[in-house]
Amino acid sequence: MTGNIGLYHPGSSLLHRLPAGVKLLAMLAGVIGVVLLRQWWQLAIAAAVVAALYAAARIPPRVAWDQVRPLRYLIPVVAALQWWLSGWQAAVAVCGTVLIGVALAALVTLTTRVTSMLDAVAVLLRPLRRFGVDPDRIGLLLALTIRCIPLLAGIVAAVSEARRARGLGFSLVALAAPVVIRSLRSADALGEALVARGADD
Amino acid sequence: MSEIRFRDVHHRYGERVVLDGIDLVLTEHRIGIVGANGSGKSTLARMINGLVSPTSGSVTVDGLDAGRDGREVRRRVGFVFTDPDNQIVMPTVAEDVAFSLRRSGLTKPAIAARVAETLHRFHLAELADHPAHLLSGGQKQLLALAAVLVRRPAVLVADEPTTLLDLRNARRVADVLAGLDEQLIVVSHHLDLLAEFDRVVVLDAGRVVADGPPAAALPAYQGLYA
């Protein structure tokens, strides 16, 4: 279900080889630039540039689509609301900005190993060490956050399957309660495994 | 081989007694621990790694107290859990193995070399960039083993490492375990996995009820429920 979301896609393109810090800064600049765009044709050009970057990184279309697919329910709602409140230009501007921003961020994660990202974060946070911030710990936190995406997706899928197997209809409580309990148990087990693996060295 | 010593170990969760006066000295190369669910075997295994501290008594590894000297003990004792999904931290296979060495003090090239060697050892080299969570159950357990053994512990403790695997993958993991040079302590319900071990300890209701070569200890275990 979430097999291609936010995970490194192996490759040897120029984008794959760029240092993680450069890509993070470029992404930041790109997202700020996109937020400043207002005209539909400006956003179309930005979208074309992002698409070209995906092609240059040799990201398969299916994997690229997986990055923005989770927005398929949110975008129509936001678009309708914006159109109703401010007109179609505003709807295009807001939805285009969100889609391009998410695609850009996903491109960085698809072309950057998590370890490279953590090294970059550790370098960026190094000045904060004097204030008691441990960059390695922050890096570990980010790695665990990324790790939890497929873990939680797996739990939700297993709980949903169990509900269907028992012939039960959809119920938020029936979904949320076991998901929360299993997530907490998984978090507990993951914490124990981290200690066993020497993460507290 | 390391010397793992349990001295009058008692443990309870609330009112429930889990271990009740365990005295053991484990020095053999391959040791199996068997017992019914709730017999205390997983708690016993976790104590070797310092993940659980006894309510009373002590557990030492080569003279180091597993509770007080936990970090040093965990450098000597690796631990593999039943469900490898709970042990995998990083998104790709190679990154997850490298994660174990992040605070080892090794240089990046040295870490890369050690990771490559370990992946080759566990037949995972071709999957180095593969998303870890998309591996098969057997491959995930091999990855969990690789991620622990890359730290080169003297002892490996495995808590039911084949329980969640199908027959083929269980055999694959069992073959890898059988070929390890490290001292090995395996908690398992799969008795055939332990048949060639040097020693098997049988637990029942938190006590050691049989202890010896598999040929004697495994029939004693089966006799408990005959």
Contact between chains at B90 and A147 (C-beta distance less than 8 A): yes
ipTM above 0.85, yes or no: no
d(CA A157, CA A99): 26
Are residues B119 and B94 in contact, defined by beta-carbon separation less than 8 angstroms?
yes
Contact between chains at B89 and A136 (C-beta distance less than 8 A): no
Say whether pTM exceeds 0.95. no
Give B-chain residues touching A3 at CB under 8 angstroms: 131, 134
Q: What is the arithmetic mean of pLDDT over B147-153?
A: 91
User: Which among A156, A197, A201 is the top mutation candidate for probing chain B, defined by the most B β-carbons within 10 Å of its own β-carbon?
Assistant: A197
> In the prediction, which pLDDT does B143 show?
92
What are the tens digits of pLDDT across the range A46-92? 999 999 999 999 999 998 888 888 888 889 999 999 999 988 889 99
- How far does the CA of residue B92 sit from the closest CA of chain A (Å)? 8
Give A-chain residues touching B153 at CB under 8 angstroms: none
- Enumerate the β-bridge partners of residue B12: B17
- In DSSP notation, B43-93 reads HHHHHHTTSS--SEEEEEETTEETTTTHHHHHHHEEEE-S-GGGT--SSBH
What are the tens digits of pLDDT across the range A158-182? 888 888 777 777 777 778 888 899 8
d(CA B224, CA B114): 45
- How far does the CA of residue B217 sit from the closest CA of chain A (Å)? 29
Number of H helices, E strands in chain A: 9, 0
Contact between chains at A151 and B81 (C-beta distance less than 8 A): no
pLDDT confidence band for B1 (50 / 70 / 90): confident
- What tokens does A49 get? 């540039």
> In the prediction, which pLDDT does B55 show?
92
Strand order in the sheet with B30-35: B77-80, B155-159, B183-187, B30-35, B199-204, B207-212
- How far does the CA of residue A197 sit from the closest CA of chain B (Å)? 6
Question: Containing H/E element for B134?
Answer: none
DSSP state of B40: S
Contact between chains at B147 and A190 (C-beta distance less than 8 A): no
- What tokens does A148 get? 């939890």
The SS3 call for residue A52 is helix
d(CA A63, CA A34): 22
Nearest to A7 among B75, B131, B148 (CB): B131
Contact between chains at B133 and A194 (C-beta distance less than 8 A): no
More confident residue, B33 or B104: B33
What are the tens digits of pLDDT across the range A9-46? 888 899 999 998 889 889 999 999 999 988 889 999 99
> In the prediction, which pLDDT does A26 show?
92
pLDDT confidence band for B27 (50 / 70 / 90): very high
